Structure 1
Amino acid sequence: ANSINSSNDVLIVIDGLPGGSVTALSPDDIESIEVLKDASASAIYGSRAANGVVLITTKKGRKGQMEVSYNGYVGFQDVKDRVDMLNGREYLTVLNEINVESGGDIIHSPQKIEEVGDGYDWQDIIFRNSIIHNHQLSFQGGGDKSTYYVALNYLDNEGVILKSGEKKYNARVNYQLQPSDRLNFNLNLSANRAATDVIRLGRGTNEGVGVLSAALLFDPTIGPERNAEGYFDVNPLVAIENPMALLEGIDQLNVINTVYATTSADYEILRGLKATVRLGTELENFRSDVYENDQFQIGRGVNGRATINSNENTYWLAEYLLSYDFTLGEHDFKLLGGITYENFERRTLYSQASDFLSHVTGTNLLQSGNSDTYVVQSGKFVNRLSSKLGRLNYTFKDRYLLTASLRVDGTSKFSDKNKFAYFPSASVGWKISSEPFMQSQDLFSELKIRAGYGEIGNQGINNFETIQTFRAGSNAVLGGSLQTGAVPARIPNVDLVWETTKELNLGLDFALFDYRLSGSVEYYVRNTDDQLFQQPVPFTTGFNSVRVNLGRVRNSGVDFSLSTKNITGKRFRWETDVVLSLLKNEVVELPEFAQRIIYGGFGFSGNYLIVQEGSPIASFYGYQIDGIFQVNDDIANSPQPNALPGHPIFHDTNGDGAITADDKVILGDPFPDMTFGLNNRFSFDRFNLEIYLIGVQGVETFNNLVAESLYPINKERNHIARNYLDRWTVDNPDAEFPSGVNYTSYSDGENKVNTFTVQDASFIRLKNITLSYDLPLLNAGPFKSVNLYVSGENMLTISDYDGFDPDGNSDGVGVSRATFTDYPIARTFRIGGRLGF
């Protein structure tokens, strides 16, 4: 992660069109994927490539008779890893015990506890075993002058939570035409539609809570049945909607229609001199329809509420390139120069109405609502990017390599004096294995060392942040009538400049024993200066923050990859791929006026992130807990004189005898020390087995579900079982967790961020296992190939994390990681086949 507040997403380039989405692609349409991580390689793609580039090339047609292929599967999904919450009996017993330990009486009688029994497992109620199926039909062929590839894809993914799911439709046409030896035309066209049934995944109290958080925190003694009035029961002390009310009371459908199109023409002017013109567009229409009926508290209170939110996004690219390839003796040159122009436009429309005569119409007749409740908002946002680029590739004797490039980017987001910036890059390489002195050895099949340096800019700010704009503000009475006023929308900063990443790479590529063992090792140092940061400002300004340039962030690490051909027999083969990455992230420089920046409030837990020199960006900032107070401890003379036995002991970091915000320390950071992947492929005759493992080690996350369990808004909310079954009592003094008695005295917003709630999110996961079989084609009729397979995805996860997915991120700020109730990761079993005709 290079940037504190700006986007850290990689740039996706699909068939030469930057900014595409992988989710809009059918995996069967992909021909190849190339990852450009170092700045010397990705700099040619400009400002959006600061975090790396993924180049995706889709399939093209082949000359010859038309070939037809089908690939499809049917799968079954479930949620394997559940959160162990208190059941009904445990829930009532814990409430009784805590109330008695707090000096009160037993609330729930033994008879009631016995009648409740295990109560209701709300995870079982809202989760379901769901079906997923995918079907792709493709056609390809062509003649001497043209080729084509046409594909249709349909995906139906029934969600693992009731009333959730997604249907996707994809159509693709790739066409190539070569009317002469010097002229080539290419057309890549795809249309995609995704319709998603959305469930609310928010957090909060009452109507603000989401389905999953409600299922975890709701009273487990209350079930999913409607009462005599036709509504779902609630426990008013819990202050959470019944999960079924959230499912039945809110209908939301999100639909995205997207068209991607790129067309290019290549003309060879002279031998080696080629001109290229590429035009591309991405047209996206998004619409979200939400209707809240009387099963939901808000809908019942306003007699139904309908909301429509729509966005129209238009992106255009025009690219003009000139390349010249030539050779002078043993010197090979490749020159490239060009200009690009990109235009981004977004139009938004938001409308809402309430108080309907009937819930039947949903969002189809907003005008039938009460006109006094109408809300209409609209907007238009435009930004442009223009660039000039040049690149030189030079090779001498096919073993000495040099690449140099320069890109000039200009963006409309910055003020006139800072619109343009220059981003150079260069790399050198030496193919040692091609040297004459290496020809007599047979150890190294390939050996190459390389080094690179590059600079890339980041323009990741909102439109208009460098100029003063206004928005509709509060109304005022002027001249005896009500007038709508306008107020400043932000504090502008005309001095904002490009955030710049400067990267140095050193690498070694190798292959040994006739390529039986091959791999690479790469060391990198990446410094990002002039961070585009939202700096908090005093409330007296009327704003929360202002965008500024500040500081330097350094990422350094090692990437290692290894491929081995372990067994290469005629009938049995075994191959292994290993990738491993080590990362260190550090803030190395901050200005004098901002040596410590504390920010990032999440849920009800206050600010939980810090940026300071010498630490990773967005480090978790809170209290270290040294243990739990015991009965005989001298609590009165401790830094927490009002604590009780069973309360957590907060570490007095500065030794001043009191627990204050000055005692906060860094508890971890969201950056893994190590990530790895291990892929094994086995083949025996016509059988193939592939096993893929991934892992992350040395990473932390702020787990707001644990914070809500240990420090709930009210004690009647349900809890993670182990937090309370292993809580401190007089009879259980060695417990891991506090007593829960009078917990509000140690659980204000900032105290919730501590060594209990900042958790280790390391994990190892069996990501995929696939077994396939190629059928022999004796008298197979129309079939040219038949492959059948079974697979399992997310089959096993090993982690100490309390939640559904240690790799999730509910509401992280920038690069941070914070989890609460992410949509759970599904375990999937598939059976499918690939047929060729």
Structure 2
Amino acid sequence: MSYSGSYGQQRVANTIDLLTTAEYVQVINGLIDVGGGPESNRIADADVVGTDWQAEVFDNGAPIQNHSLAFSGGNEQTRYYLALNAFDQGGILRNTAFSRYAAKLNISSQITDRLEVGTAINVSYSHDKQVPSGFGINAQSGTMYTALNFDPTLPIYDSDGNYQLSSFLDMDNPMSLVNEVLAASNAYRTFGTAYAQYKITPYLTAKVNAGGDINMRRRDVYVGQKTRRAMAAGGSGSVINGMQGNYLLEGTLTYDRRWDSHYLNVMGGATTQRFVYSSSFQDAAGFPSDVTGSDNLGLGDQETFRMGTGRAANRLLSYLGRVNYELNNKYLVTASLRADGSSRFGINNRFGYFPSFALGWKLMEEEFMQEISVFSELKPRLSWGQTGNQEIGNYSALTTFSGGPSAILDDRLNVGTQPARYSNPDLKWETTEQLNAGLDFGLFNGRLSGSVDYFSKTTFDMLFALPIPSSTGYSTRLSNVGSIRNRGWEFSLNSNNLTGNLKWNTQLNLATLANEVLNIGQDNPIISGNVGQTSGVFILRPGSPLFSFYGWEIDGIWQQDDDFSITRDAVEPGDIKYRDVNGDGTVNGEDRVLLGNAFPKLTWSVGNQLSYKGFNLSIFIDGVSGVKMLNNNLVESYFPVSFRRNRYAELYLNRWTPENPSDRYPSFVNPGGQGDKRVNSFTVEDASYVRIRNVSLSYQFSPRWNYLKNLGVSLSVENLATFTDYTGFDPSINPNGGAFNRIDYNAYPLARTWMIGLTADF
């Protein structure tokens, strides 16, 4: 039996430096004084106390705990392992939390000398409590959006005890979203596998494996009547139920034999997998009170009732084979072939074929290397292979239909349907081909070891929604077009710096990456990416990295003694000086340039472990460099949607004035006067960083009791410090979910976590 547990507290690792109440009053009134805002927006009472909305919505003391208890045992024929886990985490955003309770059971049994059976079963329940989030703006914005933009001169409550609203802002009071919007998800998941393995001969083994994964989820949301967004509607509630199922059956035959100087392993088999999805939703508004929340939607106004259901499925069928061969324990060859079929693709191209091979050479086994004592391992490697991608959603190759306009025929309302997708019967697998050359090495009897790898990965027949003429009735058609290439180096190094009573071990990892779009299937570049009121964020064109940020380069701020005759644009001192790339005297869409991309040029990490007797100290640091991200919260400070929003303090406290001729921050008198140029070299920021990711100190006792084998205690901190020039919450976040089209907007901030832990083995 073993136990491991930990308890800790979390704090927001970083907040955004916004204008304080006093600074906000100074800035707003100062802008109005110079014509940068309407007189009706002037703040009369400069002594107002106001509210720090970030401090109100954050919980700097959110607890986190994790407890696991495991039992293992058995005899020569049967072994078992049972584990129980409880995890509970309070959110650093108030009224958010996550808890999970899980159990795992593994059993394997040697029925006969030839037959082995086993099973692994996992069950879990999780509860996720949330507040509004996402990319919504104004009245539909989330908690983080309002906390960053709401008027800091206002209190939480008005004199009547209601949430204070602003007549200048179309958004909710941040605390009303925290307290009055109740959102929770409950998920029940059961997944597991069962196998039977039979030795037909000493060298030939058959194995059958069956598995399933069923996830049942219910999400409840209720927006109370004290919020701005639901006040007129009388509250609104919704319930969404969903089920995801994944069922697997596979069978393999394996021939495994070693003789003389040869070793051969041959495997062949087939797998089939089915995925099913179903969902239903109900929502209503106009409730007599908020008491029942979403638990009784029938109390709502029947005129607001809505419902919907959905069901989908897809299937995979694969045939696979692999051969491993080894000669003289030093020459290694591996070759494999997969034939994967997916129901998601067009009827003409359901199957894709993906081969691979690899070569290895254990150089230290050669006689001519025996005299070179500095090396303990030296193994060059070469591999090539292809893999397929089918993650396009269901029915993407077919013409599907959705709800369309309704019509009254014969005094009856008829709900119409309309085509929703342009079919493509030739849609096929997206293929990624990778070539890798590497070297594993060891020096000084293993004191220093590591590897060096070079890779070149090309993805072709990319699955992409290609724009098509609107005369077809559609805007895009999912097609196999274009290709991209990723190339780079990967280095790893492990060093045993000190041995003996004091041990010191270091691990270093480095990786470089260069991405290039080779082809997009058309001559014109594709501009995409929308968030909030920002559009046209990325460009896709050959010769450039995928999803490169596309906007305007800024050369500073127009000063009073500048030569204004070089531009035909209506600019004044204090305005942003956008670069006129083509030199035609005006800055427009033709002057946009590449502003970087989200592919880091260098990713690295360093880990150090020191141990002395029972003490162990571990420090892990990582970082990235040469990476960009659009800070859309910063965009809204440079180009406010409305005048009375809060803003980044640095920008406005150091803004351009005749007495402070800043060349970095404009005057903000007329921020939108030069058109919509939100994506620029100021708002696309360098997201490079260095982070002390984890520091842990532990002590391992030497217990003297027979029933206690091991006992350890630990103290650790995660995300101790981050060093970066990025002005958002966290340079490593990716709230929009895309790996290489990163936009930071209303993101959940990073937590710094302090933990104490205990482990015991009985």
Give the distance between the partners of 1:473 and 1:814, measured in 2 at CA: 34
Match of 1:575 among 471, 482, 505: 505
Give the distance between the partners of 2:208 and 2:137, measured in 1 at CA: 56
SS in 1 for 2:574: coil
SS in 1 for 2:590: helix
SS in 2 for 1:669: coil
Size of the alignment, in residue pairs? 761
User: What amino acid sits opposite 1:92 in the alignment?
Assistant: V
SS in 1 for 2:496: strand
Could you tell me which residue of structure 1 aligns to residue 295 of structure 2? 364
After superposition, the Cα gap between the structure-2 partners of 1:105 and 1:552, relative to the gap in structure 1 and judged at 3 Å, is closer
Could you tell me which residue of structure 1 aligns to residue 755 of structure 2? 830
Could you tell me which residue of structure 1 aligns to residue 284 of structure 2? 353
Q: Is structure 2 residue 118 aligned with structure 1 residue 218?
A: no
Could you tell me which residue of structure 2 aligns to residue 754 of structure 1? 680
**Runs (5+) with no aligned partner, structure 2:** none
User: What amino acid sits opposite 2:592 in the alignment?
Assistant: K
Give the distance between the partners of 1:803 and 1:678, measured in 2 at CA: 25
Report the RMSD for the aligned CA atoms in angstroms: 1.6
User: What amino acid sits opposite 1:301 in the alignment?
Assistant: A
Q: Deviations over 1:260-289 (max 9, x none)?
A: 111111111001100000001110112110
User: What amino acid sits opposite 1:268 in the alignment?
Assistant: K
Q: Is structure 2 residue 12 aligned with structure 1 residue 79?
A: yes
User: What amino acid sits opposite 1:788 in the alignment?
Assistant: V
Give the distance between the partners of 1:105 and 1:554, measured in 2 at CA: 52
Give the distance between the partners of 1:480 and 1:692, measured in 2 at CA: 72
Contact 1:97 1:106 in 2 (8 A): no
Which structure 2 residues correspond to residues 238-637 of structure 1 after superposition, within 5 A?
Answer: 238-539=169-470, 541-569=472-500, 571-591=501-521, 593-635=522-564, 637=565
Contact 1:474 1:484 in 2 (8 A): yes
Match of 2:100 among 165, 168, 172: 168
**Aligned-residue offset at 1:206:** 3.3
Contact 1:96 1:105 in 2 (8 A): no
Q: Is structure 2 residue 25 aligned with structure 1 residue 92?
A: yes
Contact 2:41 2:644 in 1 (8 A): no
Could you tell me which residue of structure 1 aligns to residue 698 of structure 2? 772
Which structure 2 residues correspond to residues 19-38 of structure 1 after superposition, within 5 A?
Answer: none
Give the distance between the partners of 1:639 and 1:283, measured in 2 at CA: 64
Could you tell me which residue of structure 2 aligns to residue 44 of structure 1? none
- After superposing the two structures, state which structure 1 stretch, 827-836 or 738-747, moved more: 738-747
After superposition, the Cα gap between the structure-2 partners of 1:226 and 1:248, relative to the gap in structure 1 and judged at 3 Å, is farther
Could you tell me which residue of structure 2 aligns to residue 659 of structure 1? 587
**Aligned-residue offset at 1:491:** 1.5
**Aligned-residue offset at 1:634:** 3.4
**Aligned-residue offset at 1:98:** 1.0
**Runs (5+) with no aligned partner, structure 1:** 1-67
SS in 2 for 1:363: helix
**Aligned-residue offset at 1:364:** 1.2
User: What amino acid sits opposite 1:800 in the alignment?
Assistant: D
Give the distance between the partners of 1:821 and 1:377, measured in 2 at CA: 29
Contact 2:287 2:299 in 1 (8 A): yes
After superposition, the Cα gap between the structure-2 partners of 1:640 and 1:232, relative to the gap in structure 1 and judged at 3 Å, is farther
After superposition, the Cα gap between the structure-2 partners of 1:640 and 1:245, relative to the gap in structure 1 and judged at 3 Å, is farther
Match of 1:763 among 686, 689, 692: 689
SS in 1 for 2:436: strand
After superposition, the Cα gap between the structure-2 partners of 1:109 and 1:761, relative to the gap in structure 1 and judged at 3 Å, is closer
After superposition, the Cα gap between the structure-2 partners of 1:212 and 1:304, relative to the gap in structure 1 and judged at 3 Å, is same
Give the distance between the partners of 1:81 and 1:103, measured in 2 at CA: 31
Contact 2:28 2:42 in 1 (8 A): no
SS in 2 for 1:712: coil
**Aligned-residue offset at 1:105:** 8.2
Give the distance between the partners of 1:309 and 1:710, measured in 2 at CA: 38
User: What amino acid sits opposite 2:690 in the alignment?
Assistant: I
- Deviant stretches of 4+, over 4 Å: 103-111, 538-542
User: What amino acid sits opposite 1:628 in the alignment?
Assistant: I
Contact 2:137 2:532 in 1 (8 A): no
Q: Deviations over 1:584-628 (max 9, x none)?
A: 01012233x344111111221111001111111000000111111
- After superposing the two structures, state which structure 1 stretch, 357-366 or 443-452, moved more: 357-366
Give the distance between the partners of 1:730 and 1:490, measured in 2 at CA: 57
User: What amino acid sits opposite 1:586 in the alignment?
Assistant: E
Could you tell me which residue of structure 1 aligns to residue 725 of structure 2? 800
SS in 2 for 1:82: coil
Contact 1:602 1:811 in 2 (8 A): no
**Aligned-residue offset at 1:496:** 1.4
Give the distance between the partners of 2:41 and 2:590, measured in 1 at CA: 42
**Aligned-residue offset at 1:727:** 1.0
Could you tell me which residue of structure 2 aligns to residue 744 of structure 1? 672
After superposition, the Cα gap between the structure-2 partners of 1:270 and 1:340, relative to the gap in structure 1 and judged at 3 Å, is same
Give the distance between the partners of 1:355 and 1:585, measured in 2 at CA: 52
Which structure 2 residues correspond to residues 141-160 of structure 1 after superposition, within 5 A?
Answer: 141-160=73-92
Contact 2:32 2:42 in 1 (8 A): no
Give the distance between the partners of 2:442 and 2:489, measured in 1 at CA: 19
**Aligned-residue offset at 1:539:** 4.7
Q: TM-score normalized by structure 1?
A: 0.89
SS in 2 for 1:302: coil
User: What amino acid sits opposite 2:29 in the alignment?
Assistant: N
Give the distance between the partners of 2:476 and 2:611, measured in 1 at CA: 58
Q: Deviations over 1:391-426 (max 9, x none)?
A: 000000010010000000111011221001111000
User: What amino acid sits opposite 1:101 in the alignment?
Assistant: V
Give the distance between the partners of 1:583 and 1:109, measured in 2 at CA: 51
User: What amino acid sits opposite 1:206 in the alignment?
Assistant: N
User: What amino acid sits opposite 2:696 in the alignment?
Assistant: T
Give the distance between the partners of 1:387 and 1:717, measured in 2 at CA: 56
SS in 2 for 1:724: helix
User: What amino acid sits opposite 2:26 in the alignment?
Assistant: T
**Aligned-residue offset at 1:550:** 1.1
User: What amino acid sits opposite 2:495 in the alignment?
Assistant: T
Give the distance between the partners of 1:718 and 1:222, measured in 2 at CA: 12
After superposition, the Cα gap between the structure-2 partners of 1:628 and 1:538, relative to the gap in structure 1 and judged at 3 Å, is farther
